[in-house]
């Protein structure tokens, strides 16, 4: 099988998720954990029950802490390198579900520094515009405004700089080179940056749980090496697979390949055109062939997207699966279902985004948690 590679900045090849989990040294999500979550949350999010979130670190300890009253907090983030695609929304949608069910604080880091440093072509001004735009999309997901703090790295830095230095002092260049593949040519801002992504895991003395796609895990490995030496807990994490690009199941839906993704700003016509033109099909080449031999949902991107995000109803998804597999449902018909769902989703998102304009100030400065955070200094 072709080799694959996963780093926080690039994913290539057909990812073998079990192999990746072993390489990264993370645990699987077992039935015991799923059952515990199901009991506490009175049901499971489809992204959990269908195995899209497939890997974890210390999730058991998070559930222990929750059940014995110690509690925990959530932390996730977004790098504002440009507009957002639906892949970027996936961890946020799941995070909202966790916040609703467990009623916990949530910190969302907007890494304007990271994207400025890592993307040669991005000006500081551009990053600022993308950050403002992304924050609206994030606010539209519907987090609890009094328990959620959305912060931009460049703005909040004055409240965390001494703590960040303590983190940075514990991380050597050779570690970051091994973990992230930094080279002599890497600018020194990029080399320092991982210290900031670690800091929010220390915002509370409680255990931190990070929902993210597995590409971000290298940061948590570093965090877990140094947390206890600094008097904090090792962070826990829950990792998803990648929502695949339209063109097939290799790599991830990525901002660097515009036609691989559906953007939150795509209008109805664009969604229709992209899915019809690009969505990789597991169907047969002719209708007769398809009726006879059926399609393969496992490699069909439209089916994968329905399963990850756009068809939460298990019974309906099962019917689509079976009818496609048997040849009753044609590729064009499957795409039509997806187009309708994606457009419905984006319509709702646009409405929520409009409403969220009023909430941004609360998430960033005026809500209960945000206010507390601006009054706090981390050393």
**77 is a contact residue toward ligand TYM (CB under 6 A):** yes
- The single residue among 46, 82, 91, 194 that binds ligand TYM, judged by CB under 6 A, is 91
Residues 125-144 that bind ligand TYM (CB under 6 A): none
Closer Cβ to ligand TYM, 223 or 343, answer by number: 223
**Residue 311 CA to chain centroid, in angstroms?**
19
Stretch that binds ligand TYM, among 87-95, 119-127, 173-181, 268-276 (CB under 6 A): 87-95
Closer Cβ to ligand TYM, 26 or 197, answer by number: 197
Residues 186-215 that bind ligand TYM (CB under 6 A): 197, 210, 212-213, 215
Give the per-residue SS3 of 124-188.
HHHHHHHHHHHHHHHHCCCCCCCCEEEEEHHHHHHHHHHHHHHHHHCCCHHHHHHHHCCCCCCCH
**Residue 317 CA to chain centroid, in angstroms?**
23
**152 is a contact residue toward ligand TYM (CB under 6 A):** no
Integer Cα distance of 262 and 272 in angstroms: 10
**282 is a contact residue toward ligand TYM (CB under 6 A):** no
**216 is a contact residue toward ligand TYM (CB under 6 A):** yes
- x-or-dash pattern for ligand TYM, window 94-113, by CB under 6 A? ---------------x-x--
Stretch that binds ligand TYM, among 21-29, 222-230, 239-247, 333-341 (CB under 6 A): 239-247
The helix (H) or strand (E) run that includes residue 21 is: helix 17-24
Integer Cα distance of 348 and 184 in angstroms: 46
CB of 200 to ligand TYM, least distance (A): 7
Could you tell me the CA-to-CA distances from 217 to 85, 197, 238 in Å, in that order? 21, 11, 9
Note the maximum CA span of the chain: 68
Binding site for ligand TYM (CB under 6 A): 8, 75-79, 87-88, 90-91, 109, 111, 114, 197, 210, 212-213, 215-216, 240, 242-243, 252-253
């Amino acid at each position: 099988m072709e080799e694959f590679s996963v780093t926080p900045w690039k994913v290539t090849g057909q990812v073998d998720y079990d192999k990746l989990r072993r390489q990264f040294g993370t645990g699987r999500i077992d039935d015991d954990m799923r059952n515990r979550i199901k009991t506490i949350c009175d049901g499971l999010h489809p992204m959990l029950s269908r195995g899209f979130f497939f890997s974890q670190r210390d999730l058991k300890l998070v559930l222990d802490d929750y059940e014995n009253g110690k509690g925990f907090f959530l932390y996730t983030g977004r790098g504002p390198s440009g507009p957002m695609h639906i892949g970027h929304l996936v961890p946020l949608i799941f995070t909202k579900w966790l916040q609703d069910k467990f009623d916990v604080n949530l910190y969302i880091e907007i890494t304007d520094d990271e994207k400025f440093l890592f993307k040669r072509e991005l000006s500081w001004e551009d990053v600022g515009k993308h950050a403002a735009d992304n924050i609206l999309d994030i606010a539209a997901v519907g987090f609890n405004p009094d328990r959620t703090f959305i912060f931009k790295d460049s703005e909040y830095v004055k409240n965390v700089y001494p703590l960040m230095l303590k983190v940075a002092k514990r991380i050597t260049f050779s570690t970051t080179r091994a973990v992230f593949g930094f080279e002599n040519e890497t600018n020194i801002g990029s080399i320092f940056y991982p210290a900031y992504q670690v800091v929010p895991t220390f915002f509370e003395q409680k255990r931190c749980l990070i929902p993210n796609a597995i590409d971000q895990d290298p940061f948590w490995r570093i965090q877990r090496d140094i947390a206890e030496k600094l008097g904090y807990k090792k962070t826990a994490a829950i990792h998803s697979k990648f929502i695949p690009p339209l063109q097939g199941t290799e790599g991830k839906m990525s901002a660097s390949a515009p036609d691989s993704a559906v953007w939150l700003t795509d209008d109805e016509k664009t969604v229709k055109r992209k899915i019809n033109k690009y969505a990789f099909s597991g169907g047969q080449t002719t209708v007769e062939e398809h009726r006879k031999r059926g399609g393969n949902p496992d490699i069909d991107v439209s089916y994968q997207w329905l399963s990850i995000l756009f068809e939460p109803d298990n019974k309906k998804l099962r019917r689509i699966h079976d009818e496609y597999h048997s040849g009753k449902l044609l590729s064009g018909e499957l795409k039509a279902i997806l187009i309708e769902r994606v457009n419905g989703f984006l319509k709702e998102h646009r409405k929520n985004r409009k409403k969220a304009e009023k909430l941004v100030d609360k998430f960033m400065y005026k809500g209960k948690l945000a206010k507390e955070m601006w009054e706090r200094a981390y050393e």
